Structure 1
Amino acid sequence: MLGWGVDRLRADMSRLLAILFHQGVLDEQFLQLQQLQDESSPNFVSEVVNIYFHESEKLLRNLRALLLDREFSDYKKMGIHLNQFMGSSSSIGAKRVRNVCVAFRAASEQNNRAGCLRALELLEHEYCYLKNKLHELFQMEQQRVLAAGVRDPLHQQH
């Protein structure tokens, strides 16, 4: 029975990843990140992604603060934040978030405040969707590891 649970979780994870790739939420960079994970670093992907989440939330707060400032005119500073966001999103394979950053940067280069506000809304939406889906994936992974450990306690990592 437990083995079946592990297989089902693995299949559910594969299905979720396939959906995220099909939707363009993730790209092959995420798979490359997964390939770096092994027994010596079993939480590598979730640790890297959690650092990304922490940094991204700071960048989103900074972008929102810049745009909501009535005196705002520093589009160059906004571009710097967006370049950071694009780079970190690319490094974990967050394709749709990166693409929204590209459009956001284009609006900021044109000093288009309304376009920037629309892009910020879309960026926050895409980021939240990515975060929720990756949390779901990591929860499945934890359940799979626990189920596998229960099934095979001799090979459990401590």
Structure 2
Amino acid sequence: MKKPLELQVNGAVKTVEVDPEEPLLYVLREEFSLNGPKFGCGLHQCGSCLVLVDGEASYTCRIPCASFEGKKIQSIEGLSNGDKLHVLQEAFFEVQAAQCGYCVNGMMIAALELLEGNSNPKMQEIKSALNRVICRCGTHSRFIKAVKKATSSNSNL
């Protein structure tokens, strides 16, 4: 049964009529046309569906959308400011940190969560933060390089 649900997504409050049990991932993709978060495993294990929820990287593929009401949801689409990319997006682009691109959303969200709490993480902290996202292409070394580049290129993360 569909009900009106109010969600704060990328700084805007949006009301949508959905089944409150529908996973947030489907609402983000189908109702809000946000295609950064992806369906990967459907088991909260691969990280493709991550978004920031009140500053914490959260899986969205199984959790009902009603659980996110009253929380700040940020997807990778919400990182850029108009035409200006976020420093993390710039770093990922500059070091060509993606191959197929499927895990990029999760890698970027995991990195953003880390950098918002620690603007100068050690290598092991970066590896640990990114470890929750599965990359089938094997480009982890480029993701790590991109996160290090983001920390060195801007102190205002």
- For this structure pair, what is the TM-score category when the shorter chain's length is used for normalisation? under 0.3
Instruction: Tell me the TM-score normalised to structure 2 length.
Output: 0.28
Larger strand fraction of residues: 2
Q: Please, what TM-score do these two structures have when normalized by structure 1? A: 0.27
Query: Which protein has the bigger helix share?
Result: 1
Larger Rg: 1
**Comparing both chains, which one has the higher relative contact order based on Cα–Cα distances under 8 Å and sequence gaps of 6 or more?**
1
